[in-house]
Each structure stands twice: as C-alpha cells, then as structure tokens.
Chains A and B, each alone.
Chain A
Amino acid sequence: MSNQGVTVHHGEEINNSTGVSNKKLLMWAFLGSDVMFFGTFIGTFMAYRNKSLNGPYPEDTLDIPITSVSTFVLLMSSLGVVLAVHYLKESKMGLAKFWLILVIIMGMIFMGFQVYEFTHFAHIGMTPQANLFGSTFFTLTSLHGAHVSLGILWLIFLLYNEYKGNLTSENAIDLELAGLYWHFVDIVWIIIFALLYLITAGDGVPPGGLPWTAGH
C-alpha cells in the first residue's frame, strides 16, 4: 500500500551523484577519448618525421607566416566563445548572438585557410600519396579540420536556436558544452601548429641522407 500513487520519474532529477550534469561529464569523457585519437595521429607524425624517401619535404611546402594568421584567428575564436557563453548566461542576447556569429565566422576563416593551404600543397605536388610527410600531415590536419567543421555546424545550430528563443540563459549549458569542445579543438591545433609546422618547417632531405645514399 505504501506504493500507492508513487510517481516514477526518470533521469537526472532523481539520481545525480556528483552534482555535475550528465552532459558535461559526457563531454569531458569524450574529450579524453579524443585526446587518444589525436595523440596517436600526432605520434605517427613524429615517428615518421624525416623518414620520407622523396620530396616534397616540409621546407619546400610549409609557409609559417600564413598558417600563423589562421592559428591566430582560431585562438581568438576561443575568446569569442567564452564571451558568447558569458553574455548568454547574463541574458544579454544581442551580445551573445554577436559573439557567436563572430566565432562562426572565425572558424570559417580558419577552414578557408586550410582549404587554400591544401589546394596550394596539391598544386606543388604535396599530396597524401606523395610521401610519408604527406600521408601523416594530411590525415592529421584534415581530421582536425573535420572537428572544426563539426564545431561550426554545432554552433550554427545553437545560433539558430538563439534566434528562435529556444536557447536562453536557462540552458546555457548547451552552448557551454559546445564551447568546451571548441576550446579543445583549439588546443589540439596549437599542438599541431607547434609540432607539424614550427618544429618541422626546416626539415629537408633526412639528416644522414636517404637509405640508399647513407654511408657513401
């Protein structure tokens, strides 16, 4: 009889052992998983550094000043996301939308640079098939680009909902999670920029020569 009229609820309102929302935990766990994903690609790149048997080599292809510009834009977009979340929480919808639009545009600029860079590389014969440098470089940067593109789509979806009035300060967590993802993708890019561009840029013919010339 004690069960008479018991209302059975479901989900977070009943059990929430840590006080952190499920969605946020999910995002953190996912990012942990993604660290391993990028980590393995970065490890592959470093393991195959200076192992290409033929050109084009990094010194023939990479253009640090141009990529520095797109890196700067992506870095600034992280600041934009912080502001977009901040104003959304304060219900200053005009500013929240403004910063979100700006972030989306900056993300698109970054992707534009990547498309330009890829076509330029292809033009000078640096393709994923060309050598080990090409294979490792393109898989890593294009999968990072895929992450950025997914992030842009996500932010556009959220922006649409801001205009519809569905995304308000009450559920600002939805934007916060997208922001968390965006920061992560940004941090990964900084590592990529440091390892794939800055450190690698001077690499030419492998030190010690190619396997068949070594020792001569």
Chain B
Amino acid sequence: MSSILGPKQFQIPRIFPRPMSHSGIWYWLGTVDHKKIGTMYGIVSFFWFIMGGIEALLIRVQLSQAENDIISPELYNQLFTMHGTTMVFLVVMPLSAAFFNWLIPLQIGARDVAFPRLNALSLWVFIFGSILMNISWFTGEAPNGGWFGYPPNSTIQFNPGNGMTFWVLGLNVLGVASIAAGLNFIVTIINMRAPGMTMMRMPVFTWMTFITSILIVLALPILGVAGIQMTGDRVYGTNFFNSEAGGDPIFWQHIFWLFGHPEVYILILPAMGIVSEILPTFARKPLFGYTFIVFSGAIIGFMGWFVWSHHMFTVGLGPAANTAFTLSTMLIAIPTGVKIFNWLATLWGGSIKFTTAMLFSIGFIAMFTIGGLSGVTHAVSPSDAQQQDTYYVVAHFHYVLFGGAIFAIFGGLYFWWPKFTGYMLNERLGILNFIIMMIGFNLQFAPMHWLGLDGMPRRIYTYAENMGWELSNLAATVGGFLIAFSVLIFIINVFISRRNKKLASGDPWDARTLEWSISSPPPHYNFVNIPQVEHIDDWWYKKYPELLEGSPKQTKSAKATVEDTSNVDESKIHLPDLSYYPLFVGIGLSIAALGVIYSYALVTIGLILVFWGCIGWSTEPVNEPHEKHH
C-alpha cells in the first residue's frame, strides 16, 4: 500500500471522523493492534467451530441408525459440504491466524506486524467472507457439492441454483484474506525481528508460521483461479469444466489438489509449531533437534507441491503417474516422521509437568501419528483403490485435522490463555476437557477405519440395515456428542476464569520465548525496550544463564524478570492510529461478490466501497498530525 509522506498531506474528505477512542465498538472496528485483531480472529473462528460442530452432530444423528430419515438427502449434502468447508476455511485456518497475530510480533520482539492496517483488512475480509458463505443457509440453497466441489457434481448443468456459486465466491473472498495475511507475516518475519534474532534463533512456531505463510501466498492463488473458472462456468456460461464443450472435469481435480495438498500443510504446520513450543516448556529442556525440525518443516513445505495426485489414484492417470505420486507421498512422510521422533526425544529425560497444554500436545503426537500412518496406507495406490471415497479416508483426515490440528490448537489455547487475557484457566477443568475430548474423539473416528475398510462410502445420507454398520455408527455418534461436551467444558472454563479473575503473571509456566518476558496481557506497545537476542530460547537463558555454562539443571531463582511497565510515560508512546478503511474494503469485497449472484448494482456498490477504501487508506497518514506528542 503506497502512502504518500510528502509535506502537504493530501487526504480524501472523510465521511466519518477517524476513530480515536481506545475503548468501545469503534475502537474494535478500527483497531490495527495485532493483539486485538488476533482476539477477533479467535472469537469469530471459534463461533464457526461451534457451527461446524453442530453441522457434524446433525450428520452423526442422521447416521446413528440404519435407514434413518431425520434429515433429508438434500439437507445432508449441504451439511457435509458446509461442515468440511467451515472446518477448513473458517476454523483451522483462521484459528491458526489468531495465533499468528497474537504471537508473531511477541515472539520476534516487535511492536506490531509490518502492515497493521493490512492485517485489519485480512480480518475483515475473512469475517465478511465467512458471513457471505453462510448467508446461503438463509436462501435455502447452501453449497451441496462437497468441500472439494468436483465437477460435474458442481457444474450448473447438474447442480443448478446458487449453492455452489456461494461456495466458490465465498472461497475466493476468503482467499484474499488469507493471501493478505500471508504476505504480511512473510514481511513481518523477514524484516521485523529484534536485533540479534537471526533466522536460526527464531522460535519454531515463528518458523512454521513463516513456512505456512509462504504456502498460503503460493497456493491460495491457485484456488482463486479454480474459483474464477468455476464462477465463470456457473454464472457466465464459460466452458472450463463443461464436458459438453470439451471441458475436462478431471482438470478441476488437478488444480484443486495442486492447491489442496499444500493446504493440508497450511492446516498442520502451525499446529506443529504450537506443539514445538509447549513440549520443551513442560519437559523443561530444549527442543531436541531444533535445526532438524525447522528444516523438516521447510522440506515438507517444498515437497507438498509434488504429491497432489495421490488424491486422484482412482481417476485413471495410469501406472506411471500413480507410481510417481505413490513414491513422492511416501517420501514426504519422512520429514514428518523426523519431527515426531524429535518431539519424543524432547520428552526423553525431561522433568515433565502434565499440564492441560502438555496433555493436548502429547495427545497431538499420538493421534497425529495414527492419522499419519493411515495416510501412508493410502499413499500406496493399489491399497488406495479399496479406500477411496470410504469412511477410512474420513477417519484418516480427522485423525490429522482434529487429532492433529484441533488438539494442538486447544493445547495452544490453554498454554497462551494467560498471555492473551491475563487470567489463568482452571487446570482441573482443562484436564477434564482433554480426557473427554480424547475419549470422544477416538470413539467417533476409530470405528470409521473399519467401517471404511468394510466398504461404507462417504457422503451417503443413510445405509441399509443388514450391513453390520449400526453399532460402529452409533458409537461414532456418541463420540461426537462427547466431543461437543468437552468443548462445552472449555467454554465453561473460559467463563469461570473471567469470573474468578485468577491473575496470571507475565511468565506463569516459566517458559522459554520472548512473549513470556513481558506482562500478561501485554501492553499495547508490547515491549518497553526492544530485546537484544543472543540465543535460541533467549528468555530462558536470560533467566538461567548458568545453563549455558553446562550446569545440568537451572538454579532455583531466575536472573531476569518480566518487563516492568509502571514507569512508562504513556504520553510518549507512538503507535499507529485507528483506521476504518480496512473494514470498508472488507465489506465492499463481500458485497461485490454477493452481487455476482444477485445484481450488478451490488457489484458496483461493493467496488465503489473497495475503491474508496483503498484511496482513503493510501492517503491516510499512519498518525494524525495533531496526535503527535513530541
């Protein structure tokens, strides 16, 4: 975004005054503070987590017994499509973004991200994009073509109505949000590090965010192109996937999975980063093989581009392609395995504290390993022919995405909650939350392995009585409700912590990285003094310098204390002012997308909003001149 910094500042006339207050609704709508933006990302995506969970429960209720007819086949199609889409694009990605926002500036010793207003733009585009996608429920035509939208099932010829148009436009809007955030975090991590924070001193979570951001920036445009092509087909009568005109439905599969497989790592790498922060903290020893973990992440990020056709083994690409993609997929399991062994070795010989965050991280390793191994079984293309489109695949990706990503995210929530809010969560409730989620998760998804191998197909809304699938399906449904109960415990825990206000210190876990060297919650300027970094886990070695001299255990007392903010002269604090332009660009984009379905008038209104927002944005000074206190 270009900003003209000349002496005679030109601004377009404001329709609304620039928000200046530091509380209330206008503050939240105009904030450019990465911590507030992270909080809003977290709240909104947790809301969608509950919605996606309700969709899953409805699916489970329908499948709980044979020949059930609680839910119509049409609604069932909408439910599984929106459940998958919601959990991938509205939950795991933005929940990871919530952690990026909160933690990256704190972990690298910066006062904010490189482009605070661009960051706000990502948030608002995400929020309105998620609303756009879900408005479809109120029209009665929610997307119903599956979360990967295969033609011809998703083309206008075989799937008329607006459902899949909502889906594809929603994804395109959400893609803009992701790309903007990805660009921002790439620049932030490259350029905003504190003095001494070399790349190989960065916390692993920062590294995984960096790799994830690169993947986002390179993979989401591919989905964007697929989306534009499908929008063209559905709304303007182009022929990309229209077989009548020679269009090739398989071509969609190639583009979608060329995006889709890197997307898998976009979902899981942040979780791996979270776990890599929690394990050393509670094992009370450094992460084993830091360099290996970082480079494994980078190799995964690179090799993730060469495996996409393992989603298409049964399409008939021929033995050469199937063999090549079998091999590349099995190869990519190696760096993943390296990470798992590094995590185990981190635990080895540690003085382990079984906090909730630690339990979720250990749960992550176990569940992710199961999911990873079942993944290797369908990397073998002949065996995949049996598994394709069965519940075995559903079991696999829930083990990596729920048992993996969501477990790690819950671990991260328990770990960083004191930092985010200043209050401790109740550990007893936390452990109960973990145990019930663990039991419920396995009860729900383990039976799907044998259901799938027994031939139960995905996406069927009911099944016959004599198939022998009733008991396993019933167990899965019970498991689903147990998971819901465990999430309820988490919500109760949050409310209890807000009521009890058990204050958290700046460093409640005696942890290792820079975010724990400042008070909880951090002041809006983060660091009073920008830290000088000398080591990996710099905060840990500032506290226990004797460990660097080879002392086996840290002494009782820490040598460094959390930053004291009581003497900071607030009048000398110089941070960017609020801006409402990102909000308007975000709204405008979704209105324009809605207009593609309904009317060009809406497109025009939306684009005017976007244009006005962009001009206002680029002419708006970061700080209003009269705000300067120097």
Contacts and interface: CB of A to CB of B under 8 A. Distances in A.
Contacts of A134: 238-239
A14 B111 contact: yes
Q: Main secondary structure on chain B at its contact with chain A?
A: loop
Contact of A8 (B179, B240, B575): B575
B183 interface: yes
A44 B239 contact: no
Contacts of B467: none
A25 B281 CA distance: 34
A213 B291 CA distance: 60
B2 A154 contact: yes
Given A8-B575, A161-B6, A26 B218 contact: no
Contact of B229 (A1, A18, A23, A139): A139
Contact of A17 (B186, B191, B225, B529): B191
A166 B8 contact: yes
Contacts of A168: 6
Contacts of B112: 10-11
A9 B100 CA distance: 22
A40 B222 contact: yes
B246 interface: yes
A171 B191 contact: no
Contacts of B247: 48, 132, 135
Contacts of B3: 174
A177 to B, nearest CB: 6
Nearest to A21: B191
Contacts of A197: none
Given A40-B255, A53-B246, A129 B237 contact: yes
Nearest to B188: A22
B568 A37 contact: no
A168 to B, nearest CB: 6
B482 to A, nearest CB: 41
A165 interface: yes
B8 A32 contact: no
Given A14-B530, A25-B187, A161-B10, A53 B245 contact: yes
Given A4-B567, A44-B240, A34 B575 contact: no
Nearest to B113: A22
A5 interface: yes
B569 A36 contact: no
A203 B229 CA distance: 23
A84 B69 CA distance: 70
B427 interface: no
A18 B193 CA distance: 9
B575 A52 contact: no
A161 to B, nearest CB: 5
Interface in A38-80: 40-41, 44, 47-48, 51-54
Contacts, number: 196
Contact of A10 (B10, B111, B240, B569): B111
Given A33-B183, A166-B6, A131 B239 contact: yes
A31 B101 CA distance: 23
B456 interface: no
Interface in B105-140: 109-112, 114-115
Contact of B238 (A8, A10, A53, A135): A135
A147 to B, nearest CB: 13
B20 interface: no
B374 interface: no
A86 to B, nearest CB: 19
Contact of A6 (B109, B195, B197, B529): B529
A116 interface: no
A136 to B, nearest CB: 8
Contacts of B224: 37
B185 to A, nearest CB: 10
A164 B8 contact: yes
Given A52-B246, A166-B9, A129 B575 contact: no
B218 A6 contact: no
Contacts of A143: 228
Contacts of A136: 240
Contact of B179 (A9, A22, A33, A41): A33
Contact of B8 (A8, A11, A165, A211): A165
A158 interface: yes
Interface string A99-122: 000000000000000000000000
A131 B618 contact: no
A48 B254 CA distance: 13
A134 B232 CA distance: 12
Interface string B514-538: 0000000000010011100000000
Contacts of A201: none
Nearest to A47: B251
A3 B217 CA distance: 40
Given A29-B186, A34-B221, A129-B238, A166 B10 contact: yes
Given A18-B190, A22-B114, A131-B245, A37 B221 contact: yes
A26 B567 contact: no
Contacts of A167: 4, 6
B376 interface: no
Interface centre among B2, B179, B193, B567 (most CB of A within 10 A): B2
Interface of A: 1, 3-11, 14-18, 20, 22-23, 25-26, 29-30, 32-34, 36-37, 40-41, 44, 47-48, 51-54, 128-129, 131-132, 134-136, 138-139, 143, 154, 157-158, 160-161, 164-168, 170-171, 174, 177-178, 211
Identify the 10 closest CB pairs spanning chains A and B, nearest first.
A166-B6, A37-B221, A135-B238, A40-B225, A36-B221, A129-B237, A7-B572, A3-B567, A8-B573, A53-B246
Given A3-B567, A135-B247, 9 more contacts: A6-B572, A11-B576, A22-B191, A23-B1, A29-B186, A32-B217, A40-B225, A135-B232, A166-B5
11 contacts: A6-B567, A6-B569, A7-B572, A8-B568, A16-B192, A37-B225, A40-B222, A136-B240, A161-B10, A164-B6, A178-B2
